[in-house]
Amino acid sequence: MTLGVLHHLIEAEEATDVAAMNALLPAIKFNGGGHLNHTIFWTNMAPNAGGDPSGAIADAINEEFGSFQAFKDKFSAASVGVKGSGWGWLGYCPKNNKLAVATCQNQDPLQVTHGMIPLLGLDVWEHAYYLQYKNLRADYVKAFFNVINWSNVNERLETARKSAGH
Amino acid sequence: VIHDGGEVLERAPPPGVLCCGPPSSAMFLLHRALITRRLAGVGVRCCQKHTLPDLPYDYNALEPVISADIMQLHHSKHHQTYVNNLNVAEEKLAEATAKGDVSTVISLAAALKFNGGGHINHTIFWKNLSPDGGEPEGELLAAINRDFGSLDALKSQLSAATVAVQGSGWGWLGYNKQKGALQIATCPNQLQGLRPDTELILYGARIPVVEETRFLGLMDPLEATTGLVPLFGIDVWEHAYYLQYKNVRPDYVNAIWKVADWKDISARFNSAK
């Protein structure tokens, strides 16, 4: 889907058709964002994973939220509370070297929307859980903590800190 | 308020504020009585509770187009949640109004719009559907032919616009009273910032930008937000179709025309014009 839209964008650009380029922007954000978000999501999870975080991410979580449980509560509440389709995120703010919980609607990418680097994402579009959990999004969000791949989250934090110069 | 399945989960109310809990509890009834009496004393009518309307048919009546599982979850869980949360928001609104707490009144606007919109939209939706909805005729059919060219053209355009909704939302056939014409609208609308009378391309479909529908949210009630009178709505939140159609939203949208209740749609059209 993204390739098709980008193809149209290139055509419009070559024709200097600014109106056509503008008309394509929502589709680029939607499909491009969807590609970015899901690519991160698959790496954020693993079998035989979950449990408590360790290493740098654990320290950062304790510093920012007070405890892992406090982070879980905040992340869960935010993710359950997304109206309609969207994502819950643990993000890294490169300006002040801090973590934060944030949400985005639809496939809006975290970095463009909130200026944060995505570390851990949870898809709460209904397609992500409905066949199994039906309307009980809270159960799905709770279960997500059983499959979080914390070493991947640690890798993302390390990369984010390096590129931010911290 | 966090909604967990079909239940409304209340946080513990802050001291000094009476809060209405789930309808089954005796404390809830006591609190309601106290609030009602107190508010009546200051001339505010409170606690006219909304209730979930019954479906005009059984949960399995719309099969094979919409499965009984979907209808049961959609009606008894999703719609019920909007009803519950709307009641909670209205209770809080009555309290805040009585106390002259303007800040709280304003802060409740989003919850009222979202849950009120959910209640309004789904109440229309259940009536828009029927196991034997017939075909459009008479003045409605004449208006369809005049404004879209043909019934097939209407179906094709509304279906395309509805399939193209990004994320959760609705496709609507509405009536524009100012123009005296039928009009398609979608919520949410990706048309923010685009000039009216231009076009957006999504999923290969060309979606015209119309002034009235440029800023709609994902559960916005059509008439309150745009002035268009809702005639026929298609819910494309994933819960409306995913159990049966999975990700193939176009199949669901194309199929729903088989259970459109044209008598109901005509009645709405006749009231509107």
Residue A34 sits in a domain of what CATH number? 3.55.40.20
pLDDT digit string, tens, across residues B115-155:
999 999 999 999 999 999 999 999 999 999 999 999 999 99
Q: Is the pLDDT of residue A93 over 70?
A: yes
Nearest residue, CB atoms, B201 vs list A27, A81, A127: A27
Rounded-to-integer distance, Cα A127 and Cα A66, Å: 33
Token pair 């969207």 is found at A86
Q: Is the pLDDT of residue B22 over 60?
A: no
Domain count, chain A: 1
Q: Mark the binding-site residues of A, compressed into ranges.
A: 38, 123, 127
Rounded to whole angstroms, the Cα distance separating B50 from B102 reads 24
Lowest-confidence range among A9-23, A90-104, B114-128, B148-162?
Answer: A9-23
**Residue B76 carries which DSSP code?**
I
CA distance B110 to B260: 31
How far is it, in rounded angstroms, from Cα A82 to Cα A101? 12
Do B242 and A130 form a contact (C-beta atoms < 8 A)? yes
pLDDT of residue A124: 98
Q: How far apart, in Å, are the Cα atoms of A61 and each of A89, B6, B117? A: 13, 32, 38
Binding-site positions of A for Mn(2+) read: 38, 123, 127
Which two three-digit tokens encode residue B9? 């989960």
In this predicted structure, the answer to whether residue B10 has a pLDDT above a threshold of 80 is: no
B19 has pLDDT over 90: no
Of B198, B237, B242, the CB nearest to A84: B237
Sign of the Cα pseudo-torsion (B132, B136, B137, B138, in order): positive
Residue B272 has pLDDT above 60, yes or no: yes
CA distances from B59 to B62, B148, B193, B238 (A): 7, 33, 41, 18
Position with higher pLDDT, B4 vs A125: A125
Mean pLDDT of A89-107: 97
- Reference B263, options B167, B181, B140, B106; nearest CA is B140
- Is the CB of A26 inside 8 Å of chain B's CB atoms? yes
Supply the pLDDT for residue B122: 97
A contacts of B194 (beta carbons < 8 Å): 22-23
Whole-number pLDDT of residue A23: 81
Closest by Cα among B14, B18, B22, B50 to B33: B18
Tokens in use for B202? 């999504």
Q: How far is CA B245 from CA B67, B80, B239, B255, B264, in A?
A: 10, 23, 10, 10, 26
A41: three-class secondary structure by DSSP: helix
Pairing mode, strands B170-176 and B229-235: antiparallel
Q: Cβ distance A157 to A97 under 8 Å?
A: no
User: Chain A residues with CB inside 8 Å of B84's CB?
Assistant: none
Residues of B in contact with A19 (CB under 8 A): 198
The single-letter DSSP state of residue B260 is B
Band (A20; pLDDT cuts 50, 70, 90): confident
* Residue B199 parent element (H or E): strand B199-202
Q: What is the pLDDT of residues B81-111, one digit of tens each?
A: 999 999 999 999 999 999 999 999 999 999 9
Nearest to B172 by CA among B134, B124, B139: B124
B163-208 pLDDT, tens digit each: 989 899 999 999 999 999 999 998 876 666 567 777 666 655 666 7
Question: From the centroid of its chain, how far is CA B217?
Answer: 11
User: Which of A137-141, B11-15, B162-166, B197-201 has the lowest average pLDDT?
Assistant: B11-15
pLDDT of residue B18: 36
**Closest partner CB to A130 (pick from B190, B203, B239):** B239
pTM for the model? 0.85
As a whole number, mean pLDDT of residues A85-106 equals 97
| pLDDT number for residue B246 | 97
Out of A8-12, B58-62, B169-173, least confident range = A8-12
Which residue in chain B is spatially nearest to A86 when comparing CA positions? B167
| pLDDT top residue among B220 and B18 | B220
- Tell me how far CA of residue B168 lies from CA of A21, A118, B62, B201, in angstroms: 25, 23, 22, 18
What pLDDT, on a 0 to 100 scale, did the predictor assign at position B209?
72
Contact B242/A at CB under 8 A: yes
pLDDT at A165 over 80: yes
Task: Show which of residues 34-63 on chain A sit within 8 Å of chain B, judged by CB atoms.
Answer: none
Number of cross-chain residue pairs from A and B with Cβ atoms under 8 Å apart:
79
In the chain, the amino acid numbered B129 is L
Query: B39 to chain A, minimum CA–CA distance in Å?
Result: 31
Residue B78's contacts (CB-CB under 8 Å, 6 or more residues apart) are: A135, B6, B118, B122, B237, B239
| Residue B236 touches chain A, beta carbons under 8 Å | no
* Mean pLDDT, rounded, for A37-57: 97
| Residue B7 scores a pLDDT above 50 | no
pLDDT at site B110: 92
Structure tokens at A124: 């709460």
User: Which chain B residues have a beta carbon less than 8 Å from that of A8?
Assistant: 201
End-to-end Cα spacing for chain B: 39
A143 touches chain B (CB under 8 A): no
Q: State the residue range of the domain holding A44.
A: 1-166
Pairing of strands B2-4, B7-9: antiparallel
Average pLDDT over residues A43-55: 97
